[in-house]
Amino acid sequence: MEADRIYNFNPGPAVLPLEVLKEAQGEFLNFNHSGMSILEISHRAKQFDEVLEKAKADVKELMGLGDDYEVLFIQGGASLQFDMIPMNFATKEHKGSYVLSGSFASKAYKEAEILGVGEVAASSKDVDFRHIPTQDELKINPEAAYVHLCYNNTIYGTEYHYIPETNGVPLFADMSSDMLSRPLDFSKFSFIYAGVQKNLGPAGTVLVVAKKSLLEKSPETLPTMLRYDTFYKKNSLYNTPPAFCIYMVGKVAAWIKAQGGLSVMAERNAKKAALLYEAIDSSEGFYKGHADKDSRSFMNVTFRLPSEELEKEFVAEAGKVGLGGVKGHRSVGGMRASIYNAMPYEGVAKLAEFMESFRKAHK
């Protein structure tokens, strides 16, 4: 590991590949012989257009998607998508059908509910979001405009390990935390979005990958910047885009390709997750995982210690040995280790070793 760099387990903004950071650093002052930084170059310049198009092409290639899908970059975070999706696609007659599996899934539903166009297809709130609702639990209205999922729940440490069958209702997914972390049949989804600051780049943009047929026409009653067709028709360049974020997403996508693609990411992520879950499961009850085993996330490992006092000590001691960002979300407490694509195995191994030494010192 580089001197003075810690192992960063923050959930987002999160760890980025060191190779990508160094590459960006190397061309930061003079991007592509332009004599300017990527932060200074015009978004209308041919050089930036090449950055944008390559980022889009690499993302679609990694996802195995064809010309019937388009890639957009939109500002406002995934939280703005919570509003834009029901505004663009749902009506009072054809509501959005929401599966509530955690905090952000619930927030998305709340926005649709405010608009009067949301309904609940399933929820695991009654068990403190410890598991992902199963296929049998889903009660999807066949007249729904779409089914909305949050594919990985960062706060609770749960993740979908199946693609729901919706019987023809378009499937929408917030993949902010696990986008491009493993192979999926992405063609089964009509609309995917991800705040890139967790697994794909720096904070500042949302990646949208959706069927063109959904993006071609938005309700004319919506303001310009809340319409998906605005971004689609202008290739995400209607207004000044988050140029640096797009540049970095392109770098990360190229890095994933160079590593061997999503199958390699999945193999690495499974090994990292297995290491931490073994540390939890073999701790004789000292560590207690939040998620049910069949719903455990490969991206966010959440667990508790016997007391809040020990949890505070755990965070403090972890920081002293270069393990940062392990404190859980303020709404649930405990610990959370986010082990996204860019987190090296060595960092996870060091955390697992620390967990064992801390347990032995405090059991």
165 and 289 both lie in a single domain: no
231 and 328 both lie in a single domain: no
| Structural domain includes residue 266 | yes
The average confidence (pLDDT) of the chain is 97
Q: Residue 198 has what pLDDT? A: 96
The closest of 61, 74, 3, 6 to 347, measured between CA atoms, is 6
* % of the chain beyond a pLDDT of 90: 97
Residue 3 predicted with pLDDT over 80: no
CB 153 within 8 A of CB 102: yes
Residue 2 predicted with pLDDT over 80: no
282 and 145 both lie in a single domain: no
Nearest-angstrom CA–CA distance, 343 and 8: 8
Domain boundary among 259, 289, 321: 259
CATH number at residue 324: 3.90.1150.10
Binned at pLDDT 50, 70 and 90, residue 1 comes out as low
Residues 71-115 pLDDT 10s: 999 999 999 999 999 999 999 999 999 999 999 999 999 999 999
- Average pLDDT of the segment spanning 185-211: 98
| Structural domain includes residue 1 | no
Q: What tokens were used for 107?
A: 């927030």
108 and 121 both lie in a single domain: yes
CB 135 within 8 A of CB 163: no
What is the total count of domains within the chain?
Answer: 2
CATH number at residue 241: 3.40.640.10
Residues 37-59 pLDDT 10s: 999 999 999 999 999 999 999 99
Nearest-angstrom CA–CA distance, 193 and 208: 4
215 and 267 both lie in a single domain: no
Q: Residue 331 has what pLDDT? A: 82
- Average pLDDT of the segment spanning 143-169: 98
Does the pTM exceed 0.85?
yes
DSSP summary character for residue 327:
B
Tokens 């949050």 label which residue? 150
| Structural domain includes residue 2 | no
Q: Which amino acid would we find at residue 169?
A: V
249 and 299 both lie in a single domain: no
R_g over Cα of the chain: 21
Q: Residue 267 has what pLDDT? A: 98
Residues 252-296 pLDDT 10s: 999 999 999 999 999 999 999 999 999 999 999 999 999 999 999
- Average pLDDT of the segment spanning 310-337: 95
